[in-house]
Amino acid sequence: MKYSKLLLSSILAGLVFIPLLSAQGKGISESLAKEAQQLSEAALEENIAYEVVESLTTEVGARLAGSEAEKRARSWAVAKLKELGFENVHEEPFEVPLWERGIERAEIVSPFPQQLTVTALGGSVATPEEGVVGELIRFSSVKELEAQPQGSLKGKIVFIDEIMTRTQDGSGYGEAVGKRRQTAYEAYKKGAAGALIRSVGTSSHRFAHTGQMKTITEITEEIDSVPTAALSAPDADQLTRALERTDSIQIRLQLTPKFEPASISGNVIGEIVGTESPEEVIIIGGHLDSWDLGTGAIDDGAGIGITVAAARLIKDHYPNGLKRTIRIVMWGSEEVGLVGAKAYADAHADELDNFIVAAESDFGAGKIWKFNSFFAEEKLNYLSEIADVLRPLGIAKGDNKASSGPDVGALKAKGVPIVSLQQNGWDYFDLHHTPNDTLDKIDPDELAQNVAAYAAFVYLAAQIEDDFRAEDSDIN
């Protein structure tokens, strides 16, 4: 009380230069907010996002990084963006190593002979043609494996039985993914002949979840690893029960993946060019590649569909474009280690100052429930003001710690403001990287809610007479 009285009298006396009022963005006008909400309402009546995902998953299907299928996906993307009226549609190719799975088989040899459901981890080395046989040694975490003496597991098959926690925001994945990245290398140090991990996933179905070990670029440099596969959750439970009944279980593991050091991947770009400041760009998109087991519907056909549909809806309503440019980026080779994201950030390094904001949709097809930003402190009023516009869609205001989609991380690291329109990921890791990642898992209404949120957000970012950076910001 005392303080504010003092402040008020100081302001009146001209002693304080009202920093409180100047330290925020100009704000969103009522008319802009209204237009954005109208776009949202229109999006809820449309089906374009679903049609785009259906087209991609049907006409291309799975599209592994660096593969012939990913090349077909790029051709599909170029044709689709042109068909939908985007401008400056083109591919930006880059090199990537190609890893392709072969035979993948595991079985209990003794004392309870039976097949197990496994899939090789991306980047795994091969076993000998006939496979390897070794005694199964279980660890409850990869940390426990790390703690073993070097060379102490000669000829054994390591089994990491670490369970992933189901959460709405996907935070359980961040914790669980360590075993997928580290096991093959740790097992090698201990002298093991092969390794199995409980899938990084939350479902109890009998599918194993694949996923990359270290990034494909790191793998090219570090080959000291053992053949490693993921087990479905019920198979991991089965092994644990079997181990409770006997002292020694013999496992045969056979993996025959192939590795080519150089193949071609690429990003695909399309724009709706701005009318007043075409050089200022709003970036939205998803990743075009997928794992090879399903058809990449939720990961990340959905992200492609959502962002393309949002931009397309804006074009329908504003055929001449908005003030700023809206750019769709479909990143290639995300799954194997964000290779496209790095290529994109490098290729556009001299343009970064003009990137107003970037957002990637890559967390499935569930409803958006929270809006998070990564804006300059003095522009935080936009976190609240955009959240106000999104609220009718059931979206809450988040915080300023947006973690971003994986591919915009490289832009965020260079100072580009980002947002995350955070989806409900409760079921995401039931399907993630499995054969079950298919179109039927997408609810068209939930997908349309995503489009509604993206359309409103993109519209505002493209129209406000301000940006999300600090006034004196000067990024390189």
Cα–Cα distance between 44 and 37 in angstroms, integer? 11
Question: If binding is defined by CB under 5 A, does position 437 make contact with Zn ion?
Answer: no
Stretch that binds Zn ion, among 54-62, 173-181, 271-279, 355-363 (CB under 5 A): 355-363
Question: If binding is defined by CB under 5 A, does position 292 make contact with Zn ion?
Answer: no
Which CB sits closer to Zn ion, 303 or 321? Answer: 303
How far apart are the two ends of the chain, measured CA to CA in Å?
44
Phi-psi region of 144 (alpha: psi -120 to 50; beta: other; left: phi over 0): alpha
Q: How far is the CB of 285 from Zn ion (least distance, A)?
A: 12
Which CB sits closer to Zn ion, 236 or 288? Answer: 288
Question: If binding is defined by CB under 5 A, does position 299 make contact with Zn ion?
Answer: yes
Question: If binding is defined by CB under 5 A, does position 70 make contact with Zn ion?
Answer: no
Q: Are strands 132-139 and 368-374 parallel, antiparallel or unpaired?
A: unpaired
Q: How far is the CB of 362 from Zn ion (least distance, A)?
A: 4
Question: If binding is defined by CB under 5 A, does position 300 make contact with Zn ion?
Answer: yes
Which CB sits closer to Zn ion, 300 or 467? Answer: 300
- Asked if residue 113 has a cis previous peptide bond (ω within 30° of 0), the answer is no
Stretch that binds Zn ion, among 50-58, 292-300, 366-374, 445-453 (CB under 5 A): 292-300
Q: How far is the CB of 212 from Zn ion (least distance, A)?
A: 11
Site residues for Zn ion, window 357-386 (CB under 5 A)? 362
**Residue type (1 letter), 3:** Y
Stretch that binds Zn ion, among 43-51, 132-140, 179-187, 300-308 (CB under 5 A): 300-308
Q: Which residues are catalytic?
A: 334
Burial 65-92 (b: 16+ CB within 10 A, else e): bbbebbbebbebbbebbeebebeebebb
DSSP states of 422-440: EE--TTHHHHTTSTT--GG
Which CB sits closer to Zn ion, 428 or 459? Answer: 428
Q: How far is the CB of 259 from Zn ion (least distance, A)?
A: 22
DSSP state of 275: S
C-alpha 462 chain-centroid distance:
24
Q: How far is CA 5 from CA 1, 9, 16, 20, 127, in A?
A: 6, 6, 13, 15, 77
Which CB sits closer to Zn ion, 300 or 430? Answer: 300
The alpha carbon dihedral of 293, 297, 301, 302 has a sign of negative
Stretch that binds Zn ion, among 123-131, 171-179, 242-250, 297-305 (CB under 5 A): 297-305
Q: How far is the CB of 51 from Zn ion (least distance, A)?
A: 21
Chain residues binding Zn ion by CB under 5 A are 299-300, 362
